[in-house]
Structure 1
Amino acid sequence: MALPSAPTSSVVGRYGRRRQSCWDHFWMFMFTTGIGNVFYAMHVSRWDRDRCL
């Protein structure tokens, strides 16, 4: 059984509940919403800006 790494989670209380950081939520949001969509939107925005659209 793999143990969680210290930087990503901490044990709170005697029940072993892990506290999630804001970064955990940020990365989960990015991966579940599709990080490719973010890069595509940046590309389209740059393309439009370069062509004065």
Structure 2
Amino acid sequence: MNCLHCHKYIDHLHNTSHVLVRDLSIFGRLVYLKVPRRKYYCNDCGRYPTQVGSPLKTV
């Protein structure tokens, strides 16, 4: 991943949190997807950029 601030390549994962995304209901029951949101640490600028984009594909 490239840093969003200084545009240098970074691969040092700082932490991962999860976001709940609502999906289509199945048999009348609510469905939520637990999607990881990764935060990295940039050694060059000292910031913590978050991964942009979703690992989910839309159909």
Q: Which has the higher helix share?
A: 1
TM-score (norm 2): 0.23
With a CA cutoff of 8 Å and minimum separation of 6, indicate the structure with the bigger relative contact order: 2
Instruction: Look at both structures and tell me which one has the larger radius of gyration over its CA atoms.
Output: 1
